[in-house]
Structure 1
Amino acid sequence: MVAAESPGPRAAQIAALIETEIIRRGWPVGESLGSEAALQLQYSASRSVLREAVRLVEHHQVARMRKGPNGGLVITEPDAAPATRAMVIYLEYAGVTIDELLAARLLLEPLASGLAAERIDEAGIDRLRTSLAASGSPRRHDEFHVALAELTGNPVLALFVDILTRLTARYALDTRLPSESEVSDTVRRLSADHAGIVEAITAGDSARAKTLTGEHVRMVTDWLRQHYRSGTRRAAPAVTEPGKRAEVLATQIRRDIAAGGWRTGSVFGAEADLLERYAVSRSVLREAVRLLEYHTVARMRRGPGGGLIVTEPQPGPALDTVALYLEYRRPTAGDVRQVREAIEVDNVVTVVERRDDPTVAAFLADHAAAEVPPPEVERVGQAELCFHNGIADLAGNRVLNMFLAILAELVRRHWTPTQQPVPAAADVADMHHAHVRIIEAIRSGDASLAQHRSRRHLEALSSWWMHA
């Protein structure tokens, strides 16, 4: 038994290598990476370790094992579900507040509406109107927002809106059940808002589309605030989404853990209890547990007093899953810059509002007095990271900070320091001067000037940290 359970880290390493190979090949959907025997030889792995690695790859929906003649591990076309699910798991556990969620939605969804109005064609108009016609329920309401974001042509923005929409739906589980008349009134308001947004986008009125979307997001969030009752979550709904039995079971257990208050360190149930509770075979349960362990949701402890132990989810698995999905969608440098700029410029505004806080004031004073770093790629990168991460931490929105971490991971994967030109001393001095000027605007309470200087700095910086 011990040998069967020990391959976890090694299997995860092999899964990562397989996924890297898929990316290196350009993600050729339908192509085989080789038979099980060939893959065992290629990665020097036992059958049990390789099969666990394949389960993780299948969980990410980047490849699947096909049996029979001409079988093997076949590259597939992924969808956003594993990526959004992984992110919602982490953010939900982190206890993201409604205010953080509102701020993220107010930033990104009007941006999506404005871009859709500028870029939409007649096929997009037909798609949006079809989605509008079907948006007569809360679930369809969510689909409308995702469909709209897809029309921006920016896969990063579309995925982030999808995550925010799903996270909002999770908060709805903590709301008191409204009366039928309240539900009807809310659905009518949602439909009316959607109709107005679609009309503005169809007309190409970017400014009005942004305004209407912002008003709509505020209405939805106000409704959540009005009905939200922390600690009174309704029972997790039955999982109806398609997928392998172990994957569906892992999702159900994760939702049940969250519904129970996510008591880290507690025993969710012994293996025998879980087999009876969920009416599954031992093999299905153990495969589901492996997925839960991968996402650091829970781990199985053997022996007396053992069972499925609730653990603290870490951001790494969620970040990797999202970044992997975006690898397939192939965002451009412009797509990444667009979202990063929106978040970072907005962070500056929040820091201006908090400038008198002792922690914020100390950070600003330290960076205003900092010396110009030497013109070495690593040292300059560290100075940049320290400044921008510091501003993001002071802004304090955990949703947007996670999104920035995803963008940083995409940059790391595609635009590495070895591809970057060594900055000249004058470039480094300009970067440092830009930091100081942003700080001066923040300390003086001039939000608009701080935004302007931050935006110009990011534009100038992009030629070094990322190439289109």
Structure 2
Amino acid sequence: MTAQFAVLVSDRGIKRERRAALLARQIEHDVCQRRWPVGTIFASQQELIQRYCVGTDCLRDAIRILEFNGVGRMRPGPGGGLLVSRPSINLPVASVVGHFQVIWESGDGVARREIQGARLTVAALAARICCQDKKAKDDGGDQWRWAMPKELRASSRFVVAMADVTADPFLQLASRSLLTLGHLFGESADQLSGKATRDNQELFSNLSEAIIAADADGAAFHAKCLVDQLEHSDPSRETKMSDPFLSEGSPLNRSRVGQLVRLIATEINTGAFGKEKILGAEAVLAERYVAALSTVRQALAVLEDAGVVAVRRGRSNGWFACEPSLELPLRQVRNYLASSQMDPVQAQRLIELIRKEPAQASKNAIFKILLLALESYATLSVTELSFARH
């Protein structure tokens, strides 16, 4: 337990929901230090209470937050405790997409040209990394071609397929975030036909030859050309995004707390609480949703940790919706990279490759978030994450 957390947890002025959020983040930090041991028991309930000097209620709320973030869940019975899990890639993807949904709702919007700009960067990075893949070059291109089925060479999933070839967790996450954003903006996953398809095959052949020859600059160029060719929908057409607040893989979806989290988040986004977005007191929310007060408190703890709501004390006390924050997507992306055991040195090399890309990569609204999360992860020391090879 860090000294900072020990001081905070002893402060009786901190309300329980905030204390639970602090506890959840401390446990996340400690799981990172243990190399994110997926499938193992981190500690029993009693050990967690004693280690972090908290009560049962606070721990229960913290566990809900950890479930939401895909860090772990409580296994009941003898030998049970906090079971460490690997966050689904759907969690950070939904968080990144959800951030732009809130921005869109507030009138700031994200243009499809930014999606395409970020996609070009990811494709170029994937091509450069593929050039370093010794197996792909030694096999005379067979490994590369088998990993890229014919139908994917002419679809919007091309960048996702390229990222999967690299097996780089950051590029896999980035490509799926862009794919989801693209679909929400009305892009089609259908194949092109006729001359466009023949052009794609020629561009793909050029890309394959550059990768086999380990021509990183040439591969990056041809990858961008191919992605440009695949961008065939009307750039002026933009549509609102649907609510991806909780991904389908979230453990919370199976509980009443998770259902309430989704319901409150949806009603905030659809304007059910008015322009002021005042939710009211916990008792009012319990009556509104016909839920137990303890269930409402756990749901609010999850939403507060996500930066969606906050509480105001005083005459006009109660809960209200917050402005969109980067805190949740940054944390969930970082957790996913840590659980994937991505070497921070590898992350730093990727950052250096990104910096070699044209200036628009650093100015792209979508890629800024992804790059910020990668930089945050890379700053974690190899010693702290215990990823160093002995």
Whether TM-score is above 0.5 comes out as yes
CA RMSD of aligned residues (A): 4.5
Structure 1 residue 214 corresponds to structure 2 residue 224: yes
Alignment match of 1:34 (pick from 19, 43, 54) = 43
Alignment match of 1:404 (pick from 355, 358, 371) = 371
Alignment: residue pair count? 353
Summarize the alignment of residues 1-400 of structure 1 with structure 2, pairs less than 5 Å apart. 6-94=15-103, 95-116=109-130, 119=133, 120=136, 126=146, 128-129=148-149, 132=152, 141-142=156-157, 145-172=159-186, 187-189=190-192, 192=197, 196=201, 200=205, 203=208, 205-206=210-211, 210=220, 213-215=223-225, 217-218=227-228, 223=233, 225-228=235-238, 233=240, 236=243, 241-242=248-249, 243-244=251-252, 245=255, 246-247=257-258, 249-251=260-262, 253-255=264-266, 257-258=268-269, 260=271, 265-267=276-278, 284-299=295-310, 309-333=320-344, 335-346=346-357, 349-350=359-360, 396-400=363-367
Single out whichever of 27-36 and 93-102 deviates more from structure 2: 93-102
* Matched AA of 1:189: L
Query: 3-state DSSP class of the match of 1:327?
Result: helix
| CA 1:412–1:211: 2 relative to 1, 3 Å | closer
CA shift, 1:294, in A, is 1.2
Single out whichever of 325-334 and 281-290 deviates more from structure 2: 281-290
Question: Contact between 1:297 and 1:313, CA under 8 Å: does it hold in 2?
Answer: yes
* Matched AA of 1:89: G
CA shift, 1:201, in A, is 9.2
Question: Contact between 2:245 and 2:262, CA under 8 Å: does it hold in 1?
Answer: no
The alignment's TM-score, normalised by the length of structure 2, stands at 0.71
Q: Give, in whole Å, the separation in 2 of the partners of 1:308 and 1:217.
A: 45
CA shift, 1:283, in A, is 5.1
CA shift, 1:73, in A, is 0.9
Q: Give, in whole Å, the separation in 2 of the partners of 1:261 and 1:346.
A: 43
Query: 3-state DSSP class of the match of 2:42?
Result: coil
The alignment's TM-score, normalised by the length of structure 1, stands at 0.61
Q: Give, in whole Å, the separation in 2 of the partners of 1:123 and 1:225.
A: 35
Q: Give, in whole Å, the separation in 1 of the partners of 2:144 and 2:259.
A: 33
CA shift, 1:75, in A, is 1.6
| CA 1:263–1:317: 2 relative to 1, 3 Å | farther
Single out whichever of 335-344 and 300-309 deviates more from structure 2: 300-309
CA shift, 1:108, in A, is 1.6
Alignment match of 1:413 (pick from 380, 386, 390) = 380
CA shift, 1:228, in A, is 1.5
Rg: which structure is higher? Answer: 1
Quote the residue 1:444 is aligned against: none
| CA 1:260–1:42: 2 relative to 1, 3 Å | same
CA shift, 1:240, in A, is 8.0
CA shift, 1:302, in A, is 8.7
| CA 1:265–1:220: 2 relative to 1, 3 Å | farther
CA shift, 1:66, in A, is 0.2
CA shift, 1:308, in A, is 5.4
Deviations 1:111-159 (A, max 9, x none): 21453466347677555439849x98xxxx55x6434312213222222
* Matched AA of 2:192: R
Deviations 1:244-300 (A, max 9, x none): 233355345435544559987423688789779878766555433322211112246
Query: 3-state DSSP class of the match of 2:74?
Result: strand
Quote the residue 1:445 is aligned against: none
- Structure ranking higher in helix proportion: 1
Question: Contact between 2:44 and 2:82, CA under 8 Å: does it hold in 1?
Answer: yes
Question: Contact between 1:118 and 1:204, CA under 8 Å: does it hold in 2?
Answer: no
Q: Give, in whole Å, the separation in 1 of the partners of 2:353 and 2:322.
A: 34
CA shift, 1:39, in A, is 0.9
Question: Contact between 2:204 and 2:226, CA under 8 Å: does it hold in 1?
Answer: no
Single out whichever of 325-334 and 302-311 deviates more from structure 2: 302-311
Higher RCO (C-alpha 8 Å, min separation 6):
2
Q: Give, in whole Å, the separation in 1 of the partners of 2:225 and 2:266.
A: 31
Q: Identity across aligned pairs (percent)?
A: 25
Q: Give, in whole Å, the separation in 1 of the partners of 2:342 and 2:30.
A: 19
CA shift, 1:21, in A, is 2.2
Structure 2 residues without counterparts, runs of 5 or longer:
1-11, 104-108, 384-388
Query: 3-state DSSP class of the match of 2:190?
Result: helix
Q: Give, in whole Å, the separation in 1 of the partners of 2:124 and 2:132.
A: 13
* Matched AA of 2:353: A
| CA 1:20–1:403: 2 relative to 1, 3 Å | same
Quote the residue 2:106 is aligned against: none
Question: Contact between 1:250 and 1:288, CA under 8 Å: does it hold in 2?
Answer: yes
| CA 1:308–1:333: 2 relative to 1, 3 Å | closer
